[in-house]
Amino acid sequence: MTPESSPSPIVAFTVPMLPPSANSYVRHTRAGGHYKTDLDKRWMETFAVFAGGRRIRAKNYDVILAFWLPPRKRGDVDNLIKRTLDALQKFAVIDTDAKVARVTATKIRGNAALTAIKVTEWAR
């Protein structure tokens, strides 16, 4: 294991964009199929870069999220959480989002879109 990917007691990083809403990351076709949107693909690619191979392994996880929304940008905080947790699992920051015991999410007005992520062991 490289130092960047070794399990750590805390993982924290910032992604310079917002995740797509749980209502908009996938589209359905008339034929009954579905596909991921370009926004979702960009979110996942950007997330992977800024996660940088960081990992944490624990029995349960405590995830703290802060979403900075630029002026006139709308978003329900609950809809922003899903793709963030999915990305944490997909890029092996955590081993499974089923072990997330607590999520604390805050929506903040700011000048630019930003997602701050902190994951620690849930020690309760």
Instruction: Give this prediction's pTM.
Output: 0.83
What DSSP string runs through 15-80? ESSPPPPTTTSEEE-TTS-EEE-HHHHHHHHHHHHHHTT-B---SSEEEEEEEEEPTT----HHHH
- Structural domain 10-121, CATH architecture: 2-Layer Sandwich (3.30)
> Domain residues of the chain, as ranges?
10-121
CA 84 – CA 90 distance, rounded (Å) = 10
pLDDT in tens, the chain (124 residues): 444 545 668 999 999 999 987 666 555 556 667 656 788 889 999 999 999 999 999 999 999 999 999 988 877 888 899 999 999 999 999 999 999 999 999 999 999 999 999 999 998 7
